[in-house]
A and B are shown apart, each in its own frame.
Chain A
């Protein structure tokens, strides 16, 4: 005369300690997983941003580039049509392998009796629908970013005018000392560099980031080269292996931590919830015997425990989602200051969290429920 749902609610209210401890386990697990999910995404964004600042790790240059000369000079003396970037970007599957495709034109030039490197950078292209901020820096037409040494030689400051061959430029930014050839580099927009060098519509390379994130022993270069060969056979790719390896290892170590921590957390929570349910079954041995005596079948007995688990999962999943999200939003910005603004609640996760938590709780309670079903009622009902 009383529904299973009402029985479950009343029993949960009666067994407050057991109910609360089960809920704490579920809430803590869901909060942890939701928090880890949000913070892992934030950590990845942060790592991407940091590794992005390490520089591009792929250089796509014309196929007929002489490698010896390329490594001695630091750039290709051959050119590709500027349209190669669009051609690569529009090919299916490109952004599985490459990202942040940035056309560049580089040459050594003579500037007031000194040699320097001129780099013209075009607009970076990211994968369709991606919110990623393009790598590199956007340099407006007529502006220049000047390397530290170069600025020192010519006494350039922000706002200074600079004539480069046939083009007048304004210094927008003097770069910090890098300790590399960056210090002797003059960055302009791609269009300005093309004008200065008389190479309209041409680029010397496409800078890019490797998206495979495989370490050297996993031979990413073969896959990268195969992908490029299909789309841009007139080009070849060179990988800055140290940078690529560092980036891949960073990402893989983050994934390894998650791959270890998530199952461990779930296992610990399942053991906790399962143990509490076993205690609950033991406490209710007499009640189970009575339900049997009153004519309840195995399904009804199992429903009392599995239904309770599902309900605890729903409540715990809801509370845990909001607790985890709140914690992530509260502490995330301090942990990941560079990408703090990107840290937001993931509401698409909420229904998944509810469904998975209920399923998880039912799974954790399954063995105890079967113990309840298999319990010999005569043993608890016998008086003598």
Chain B
């Protein structure tokens, strides 16, 4: 599903403390839950953005669902991203002027079949039924992250790239988010979750560790009993 080799991205000195990545190579299969560890500034977000087709690497190769998004034209790359990748961010990135339901639906292109009923299902599953008409500013951090997760899940992407999705959440909300990501993995999706904590480790099939932009270790865990692999 994800295969990258020697991915490198350097930032200009003016970018300050943000570090790039250097010579990162790994693979993640369909239905695999990969946790990416590293301290703040270690390059986790950079790697996820490169994998999601949002940040072109300086060198190295990438294959995502059989395509290298950086060889596609801009419109094709945008469509590919819409179809293949779901993002969940630490800062939620909800659209402030859309209510919960429309924020979730914003993840889908116009005209997608059964979108509203699928969004309603996700709203129920994620416990947002009584907040579906509320705006992001009135939601708690946990609720916002659940909305962001629902937005990513709605389009049933091949890969979910989650950047510190539990970084701003209490343990209870963090568990809800991780449980749903695990359920998505069990349905055959691939999860790559970047975190500097350890709460996601119990869901991981594999744990990668980045240090100053370099992949320093990759630890496989026993296959999950319900994994489709």
Interface residues of A (CB under 8 A from B): 1-3, 7, 10-11, 13-15, 286-287, 289-290, 292-298, 376-378, 381-384
A378 touching B97 in the complex, CB below 8 Å, given contacts A1-B105, A297-B78, A384-B41: no
Q: Which residue of B lies closest to A298 (CB)?
A: B74
- Closest chain-B Cβ to A308's Cβ sits at a distance in Å of 12
Residue contacts A-B, CB under 8 angstroms, 19 given: A1-B102, A1-B108, A1-B109, A286-B91, A289-B93, A290-B95, A292-B78, A294-B82, A295-B81, A295-B109, A378-B46, A378-B55, A381-B54, A382-B46, A382-B49, A383-B44, A383-B89, A383-B91, A384-B46
Taking a contact as CB atoms under 8 Å apart, the answer to whether B44 and A384 are in contact is: yes
CA A167 to CA B90, docked complex, whole Å = 105
Interface centre among A286, A287, A296, A383 (most CB of B within 10 A): A383
Whether B54 pairs with A383 at a CB distance below 8 angstroms is no
Q: Of A14, A296, A378, A383, which is within 8 A of B96 by CB?
A: A14
B218 within 8 Å of A by Cβ? no
Beyond A1-B110, A297-B78, A378-B55, is A14–B97 a contact (Cβ under 8 Å)? yes
> Can you name 7 extra interface pairs (CB under 8 A) apart from A293-B54, A295-B83?
A14-B97, A287-B96, A290-B95, A295-B78, A295-B79, A295-B80, A382-B46
Q: Measured between alpha carbons, how far is A5 from B42 in the docked complex, in Å?
A: 41
- Interface bin, chain B: 35 or more
A295, B82: Cβ atoms under 8 Å?
A: yes
Complex Cα distance A378/B43, Å?
A: 13
Which chain A residue shows the least CB distance to B41? A384
Task: Find the B residue at minimum CB distance from A9.
Answer: B97
Beta-carbon nearest neighbor of A377 in chain B: B54
Q: How far is the CB of B182 from chain A (nearest CB, A)?
A: 21
Closest to A378 in B: B55
Q: In the bound complex, how far is the Cα of B78 from the Cα of A377, in angstroms?
A: 12
CB of B163 within 8 A of chain A? Answer: yes
Given A1-B112, A1-B116, A382-B18, answer yes or no on A296-B97 (Cβ-Cβ < 8 Å): no
Q: Is the CB of B87 within 8 A of A3?
A: no
For A10, the chain B residues whose CB sits under 8 A away are: 97-98
CB distance from A332 to the nearest CB of B (A): 42
Q: How far, in whole Å, are A377 and B87 apart by their CA atoms in the complex?
A: 13
Q: In angstroms, how far is the closest chain B Cβ from the Cβ of A47?
A: 51
The residue in chain A whose Cβ has the minimal distance to the Cβ of B9 is: A378
Inter-subunit contact B45/A293 (CB<8 Å) = no
Report yes or no: B97 in contact with A381, Cβ–Cβ below 8 A.
Answer: no
For the complex, give the distance between the alpha carbons of A14 and B95 in Å.
10
Q: How far is the CA of A103 from the CA of B30 in the complex (A)?
A: 99
Nearest CB in chain B to that of A14: its residue: B97
Q: Is B31 among interface residues, defined by CB-CB distance under 8 A?
A: no
Residues on the A chain within 8 Å of B105, using CB: 1-2
**Cα of A292 to Cα of B79 in the assembled complex, Å:** 10
Which A residues lie within 8 Å of B98 (CB)?
2, 7, 10
